[in-house]
């Protein structure tokens, strides 16, 4: 007997507007392909979609903006038709990524690059400035900026820009430490509440957005354990400035778990070690391997593992354990141009979706191979929010929440004790 097909509920709209249509309705609209699976708690017919709308297009043409623009652009908002004029402040690894996506974006224009040294490989037609002060005093008029400068300069650069009425997307972390994060986030909340977006790109990642929607649908029942792993395979490049392994690397994992759990922890424990890469790295860092465990008020926990030592290859995986099943994102053995999302119920039956990723070519940072589409998605949200004047989906208070956890984790590493709030 053929099992009855269950129509999926509308997906939640991250902007807070009307729910998005069910996956089945999206198939024709976004180039989706349905994949039927056996009956079970994780096995309703789900859709596999191409987040860059790239079927029939070359890899070099996959910029990945169309589907996320539909997620984040509110109906009825006023629209500025001229391209958004954007500056990049800091032209290191991540600054170059944002510059590439800006140049590909149909509604934005890269208008200036700021870096103390003339950056090799910067677009020749884009004006270059050796300081932010020089840009603001004599450069072209800009409406928005992406701050990708060293962490120690984030507050100075963000404050100068927002006081010049420029909206900003700033790379994590917001500042160099929790106390400054707290002060600056509060200042921004009072003085410039809609001016700053934090670049937590995982919130714009297709597989993780799908995981979140499955949790909201109750696919695996009540979740009780969240696990997030990030392990680099390559040494940090010479000249890279790290505020410490926890602050630099696990901030994305912490934000991911707080976002998925929809709660702040009541306690944290942590461990840090120097095991391998620090003996060979050109960059001095406190640890090259660390783990955190967060406890939440409802009894659930979050576990985070970060490392510079996964020499076999870049590893990014997430699990959510629930009373009725398990969801897993990103098997390490997978094709590096594809991310898998799996859901299994208590009977062993389940479903799987595959998310193709963009091929950026040889020699790019390994994080770009996994999260390139997410970086494009967060930039698209930034551009669309700037053009329409709406608030950003992730802001300084989110940075403050993650920084609070990391500050407690740093103390827990030093003392070997569990940190509890409101300690």
Could you read off the pLDDT of 224-279 as tens digits, one per residue? 999 999 999 888 878 777 778 888 889 999 999 999 999 999 999 999 999 998 88
| Peptide bond between residue 154 and the one before it cis (omega within 30 degrees of 0) | no
Give the C-alpha separation, 91 to 149, whole Å. Answer: 7
Q: What is the 3-state secondary structure (H, E, C) of 299-364?
A: CCEEEEEEECCCCCCCEEEEEEEECCEEEEECCCCCCCCEEEEEEEECCCCEEEEEEECCCCCCCC
202-420 has which CATH code? 3.30.360.10
Only one residue has tokens 């799908």, namely: 210
**pTM (global) more than 0.85:** no
CATH superfamily of 84-200: NAD(P)-binding Rossmann-like Domain (3.40.50.720)
> Digits of tens for pLDDT over the chain (423 positions)?
333 232 333 434 444 444 434 333 333 322 223 333 333 456 443 333 233 333 233 333 334 443 333 333 343 444 547 999 999 999 998 999 999 999 999 999 999 999 998 666 678 889 999 999 999 999 999 999 999 999 999 999 999 999 999 999 999 999 988 999 999 999 999 999 999 999 999 999 999 999 999 999 999 999 999 999 999 988 887 877 777 888 888 999 999 999 999 999 999 999 999 999 888 888 888 899 999 999 999 999 999 999 999 999 899 999 999 999 999 999 887 678 899 999 999 987 889 999 999 999 988 988 999 999 999 999 999 999 999 999 999 999 999 999 999 999 999 999 999 999 986
Query: Residue 22: what pLDDT?
Result: 37
Query: Residue 53: what pLDDT?
Result: 33
Domain-wise residue ranges, the chain: 84-200, 202-420
Contact 87, 46 (CB under 8 A): no
Give the C-alpha separation, 423 to 295, whole Å. Answer: 15
Give the C-alpha separation, 254 to 270, whole Å. Answer: 12
Query: Residue 410: what pLDDT?
Result: 93
């Amino acid at each position: 007997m053929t099992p009855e097909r269950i129509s999926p509920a509308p997906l939640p709209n991250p902007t807070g507007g009307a729910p998005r249509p069910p996956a089945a309705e999206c198939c024709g609209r976004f180039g989706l392909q349905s994949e039927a699976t056996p009956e079970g708690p994780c096995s309703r017919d789900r859709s596999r979609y191409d987040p860059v709308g790239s079927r029939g297009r070359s890899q070099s043409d996959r910029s990945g903006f169309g589907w996320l623009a539909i997620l984040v652009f509110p109906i009825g908002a006023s629209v500025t038709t001229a391209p958004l004029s954007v500056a990049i402040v800091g032209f290191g690894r991540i600054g170059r990524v944002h510059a590439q996506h800006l140049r590909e974006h149909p509604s934005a224009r890269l208008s200036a690059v700021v870096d103390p040294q003339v950056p090799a490989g910067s677009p020749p037609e884009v004006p270059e400035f050796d300081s932010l002060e020089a840009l603001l005093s004599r450069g072209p008029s800009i409406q928005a900026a992406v701050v990708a400068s060293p962490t120690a300069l984030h507050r100075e650069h963000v404050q100068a820009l927002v006081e010049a009425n420029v909206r900003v997307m700033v790379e994590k972390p917001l500042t160099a430490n929790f106390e400054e994060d707290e002060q600056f986030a509060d200042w921004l909340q009072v003085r410039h509440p809609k001016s700053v977006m934090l670049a937590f790109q995982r919130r714009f990642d297709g597989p993780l957005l799908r995981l979140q929607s499955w949790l909201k649908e109750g696919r695996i029942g009540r979740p009780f354990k969240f696990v997030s792993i990030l392990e680099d395979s390559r040494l940090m490049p010479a000249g890279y400035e790290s505020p410490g392994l926890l602050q630099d690397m696990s901030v994305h994992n912490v934000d991911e778990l707080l976002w998925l759990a929809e709660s702040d922890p009541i306690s944290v424990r942590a461990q840090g070690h120097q095991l391998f890469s620090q003996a060979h790295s050109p960059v001095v860092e406190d640890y090259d391997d660390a783990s955190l465990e967060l406890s939440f008020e409802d009894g659930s926990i979050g576990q985070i593992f970060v490392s510079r030592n996964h020499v076999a290859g870049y590893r990014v995986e997430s699990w959510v354990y629930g009373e009725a099943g398990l969801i897993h994102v990103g098997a390490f053995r997978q094709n590096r141009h594809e991310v898998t999302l799996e859901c299994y119920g208590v009977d062993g039956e389940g479903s799987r979706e595959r998310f193709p990723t963009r091929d950026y070519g040889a020699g790019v940072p390994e994080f770009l191979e996994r999260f390139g589409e997410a970086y494009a998605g967060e930039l698209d949200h930034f551009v669309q929010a700037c053009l329409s004047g709406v608030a950003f989906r992730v802001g300084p208070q989110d940075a403050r929440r993650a920084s609070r956890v990391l500050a407690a984790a740093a103390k827990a590493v030093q003392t070997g004790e569990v940190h509890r709030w409101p300690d």
